[in-house]
Amino acid sequence: MKKTLLALSLLSLSLSSAYLAPAYAALPFSVDGKELPSLAPMLERVTPAVVSIAVEGKQVERSRLPEQFQFFFGPEFPEEQVRERPFRGLGSGVIIDADKGYIVTNYHVINGADEIRVRLHDGREYEAELIGGDEMSDVALLKLDSVKDLTEVTLADSDKLRVGDFSVAIGNPFGLGQTVTSGIVSALGRSGLNVQNFENFIQTDAAINSGNSGGALVNLNGELIGINTAILGPNGGNVGIGFAIPSNMMKNLTEQILEFGEVKRGMLGVQGGEVTSELAEALGYESSKGAFVSQVVPDSAADKAGIQAGDIIVSINDKPISTFSELRAKIATLGAGKEVKLGVLRDGKSKTFDVTLGEAQQAKAKAESLHQGLSGAELSNTTSQDAIEGVKVTQVAENSPAARYQLQPGDIIIGVNRQRVKNLAEFRQVTENHPGVLALNIQRGDRTLYLVVR
């Protein structure tokens, strides 16, 4: 018996001429001399803001000698074989700031890339700089330097979306070139798809296929409501179930990347789950929407604000939430230090609490966005557990430029070119002003040393 497996697929696979689904080709342009409604005027404004992305890089492959053979080859033979395999990939992106050249795409589109090239709607091609990215929410920010005549997309308020709203997907499926498909918003707040750790997807039946990753999902006004990210279908093909990162979530993440060089996740400090029908009945709650709080972490943001176990959180900043997963995703992407108002149901009564979000564990940033000589290293801001403020090296890939310059995990960069740096934002500012040779002042254990990176 053959079984068809539905696999959740990320959409990496690139824009030249727009292609409309053949189903529309047979429609008349007018009836009784009157023009029929058309998406063409909106698309003519929006499609120049959607770009094609092509990446190249090297993928590190590791293989170990089977244990039963190690005796024959002896200790001189390396147990682990490491080799690099070139790879190429295609995806899509959306211009969100024409003046500054900022383009948003999916993290998985550019992950591991040594070279990122962007092809505009008019055929121009440029190399793009990676400003930063966040693997856990699958968002990355690119920049084109000194490129004129760019078109940006207008952002919609994705919190105002409703199931049944029309949606239009624009991207580059299978590398065919820019393609436009349409559908509706099928569901909101989708999670549990095992794509990334922070999920709050828009679900749409607009046809989305491999290569659409990072492309635009827009409304009928041509405003961006989401970034196409994943599909549910056999072998990466479309079956009418696609997912997009909401525009509000994307906006919060890119603002943090620009301000801090990374995503500083908000932390509420609660554990819990969904409101099941049994739980709702036991609590006398007439709905299944909301996030049930089973435990409050002592001395957390929630604890300080007065949130208690047994509460049901039903809104954030007066906007309803439906699930615990939605609460978690929205709190994380709002960012550390943000003031939020939580709507809570306690003992059948509605209450509101003002909460200042704490900071979750630091996300890691790719160091090549700061300087090519640091490629292969992952950096983060230090925390209160570190002895000194600075930029911490959390990981160094073997045989990478960072490894060749002798950077080590655990190093804390405290100065660059004789300037004190306390975080990634200050590091970025120094490297932007001095893009050439870097003299890094490093704290390694109880020693201080200098490394020169070119």
What does 293-313 look like in DSSP terms, one character per residue?
A: EEEE-TTSHHHHHT--TT-EE
pLDDT band of 172, cuts 50, 70, 90 = confident
Q: Are strands 419-420 and 412-416 parallel, antiparallel or unpaired?
A: antiparallel
Q: Please pick, among 9, 52, 121, 138, the residue that the annotation labels catalytic.
A: 138
Q: Are residues 169 and 254 in the same domain?
A: yes
Q: Are residues 407 and 427 in the same domain?
A: yes
Q: Clarify whether 213 is annotated catalytic.
A: yes
Least-confidence region, from 77-81, 212-216, 244-248: 77-81
Q: Binding site for substrate: which residues?
A: 56, 108, 138, 211-213, 268-272
Indicate if the pLDDT at residue 362 is higher than 90.
Answer: no
pLDDT at 366: 59
Q: Please report, for the domain that includes residue 95, its CATH number.
A: 2.40.10.10
Q: For residue 2, tell me if it sits in a domain.
A: no
Q: For residue 8, tell me if it sits in a domain.
A: no
Q: Are residues 294 and 346 in the same domain?
A: yes
Q: For residue 274, tell me if it sits in a domain.
A: yes
Indicate if the pLDDT at residue 108 is higher than 60.
Answer: yes
| Cα–Cα nearest to 416, from 437, 400, 399, 440 | 440
H or E element at residue 265: none
Angle, in degrees to the nearest 10, between helices 424-433 and 247-260: 70
* Domain stops at, among 326, 359, 392: 359
Least-confidence region, from 17-26, 78-87, 126-135, 403-412: 17-26
Q: Are residues 125 and 56 in the same domain?
A: yes
Q: How many domains are there within the chain?
A: 4
* C-alpha span between 397 and 413 (Å, rounded): 17
Provide the percentage of residues in the chain whose pLDDT is more than 70: 79
Q: Are residues 59 and 110 in the same domain?
A: yes
CB 266 within 8 A of CB 336: yes
DSSP-based three-state secondary structure for 244: strand
* C-alpha span between 149 and 28 (Å, rounded): 35
- Average pLDDT of 356-373? 68
- Average pLDDT of 207-236? 84
Indicate if the pLDDT at residue 175 is higher than 60.
Answer: yes
CB 206 within 8 A of CB 9: no
Q: For residue 237, tell me if it sits in a domain.
A: yes
pLDDT band of 7, cuts 50, 70, 90 = very low
Q: Are strands 179-190 and 19-20 parallel, antiparallel or unpaired?
A: parallel
Q: Clarify whether 138 is annotated catalytic.
A: yes
pLDDT at 428: 80
pLDDT band of 438, cuts 50, 70, 90 = confident
Q: Are residues 256 and 272 in the same domain?
A: no
Q: Which residue has the higher pLDDT, 221 or 66?
A: 221
Q: Which residue has the higher pLDDT, 389 or 121?
A: 121
C-beta neighbour count of 235 within 10 angstroms: 10
The residue segments making up the domain with residue 396 are 364-453
Q: Are residues 177 and 231 in the same domain?
A: yes
Q: Are residues 425 and 446 in the same domain?
A: yes
Q: For residue 132, tell me if it sits in a domain.
A: yes
Q: For residue 21, tell me if it sits in a domain.
A: no
Q: Clarify whether 369 is annotated catalytic.
A: no
Q: Please pick, among 213, 325, 369, 380, the residue that the annotation labels catalytic.
A: 213
* Model-wide pTM > 0.85: no
pLDDT band of 191, cuts 50, 70, 90 = confident
DSSP-based three-state secondary structure for 94: strand
Q: Are residues 162 and 224 in the same domain?
A: yes
pLDDT at 16: 33
- Average pLDDT of 352-365? 75
- Average pLDDT of 265-279? 85
pLDDT at 279: 85
Q: For residue 19, tell me if it sits in a domain.
A: no
* C-alpha span between 104 and 125 (Å, rounded): 17
pLDDT at 87: 85
Indicate if the pLDDT at residue 33 is higher than 90.
Answer: no
C-beta neighbour count of 180 within 10 angstroms: 24
pLDDT band of 254, cuts 50, 70, 90 = very high
- Average pLDDT of 206-224? 89
Q: What is the 3-state secondary structure (H, E, C) of the chain?
A: CCCCCCEEEECCCCCCCCEECHHHCCCCCEECCEECCCCHHHHHHHHHHEEEEEEEEEEEEEEECCHHHHHHHCCCCCCEEEEEEEEEEEEEEEEEECCCCEEEECHHHHCCEEEEEEECCCCCEEECEEEEEECCCCEEEEECCCCCCCCCCEECCHHHCCCCCEEEEEECHHHCCCEEEEEEEEEEEECCCCCCCCCCEEEECCCCCCCCCCCEEECCCCEEEEEEEEEEEHHHCCCCCEEEEEHHHHHHHHHHHHHHCCCCCEECCEEEEECCHHHHHHHCCCCCCCEEEEEECCCCHHHHHCCCCCCEEEEECCEECCCHHHHHHHHHHHCCCCEEEEEEEECCEEEEEEEECEECCCCCEEHHHCCHHHCCEEEEECCCCCCCCCEEEEEECCCCHHHHCCCCCCCEEEEECCEECCCHHHHHHHHHHCCCCEEEEEEECCEEEEEEEC
Indicate if the pLDDT at residue 440 is higher than 80.
Answer: yes
Q: For residue 119, tell me if it sits in a domain.
A: yes
Least-confidence region, from 83-92, 192-201, 433-442: 192-201
Indicate if the pLDDT at residue 290 is higher than 70.
Answer: yes
Q: Are residues 108 and 194 in the same domain?
A: no
Q: Please pick, among 12, 52, 92, 108, the residue that the annotation labels catalytic.
A: 108
Reading the block at residue 147, the tokens are 């490129």
The angle at the Cα of 290, spanning 286 to 291, to the nearest 5 degrees, equals 130
Instruction: Calculate the dihedral angle through the C-alpha atoms of 126, 129, 134, 138, rounding to the nearest 10 degrees.
Output: 10
Provide the percentage of residues in the chain whose pLDDT is more than 90: 34
pLDDT at 195: 41
pLDDT at 192: 63
* Domain stops at, among 316, 332, 359: 359
- For the chain, the residue count is 454
Which residues sit opposite 327 in a β-bridge?
none
* Domain stops at, among 120, 144, 168: 144
Q: Are residues 343 and 395 in the same domain?
A: no
Give the pLDDT confidence of 294-338 residue by residue, as tens digits: 888 888 899 999 999 999 999 999 988 888 888 888 898 888 888
Q: Binding site: which residues?
A: 56, 108, 138, 211-213, 268-272
Q: Are residues 234 and 181 in the same domain?
A: yes
- Average pLDDT of 160-168? 94
Q: Please report, for the domain that includes residue 339, its CATH number.
A: 2.30.42.10
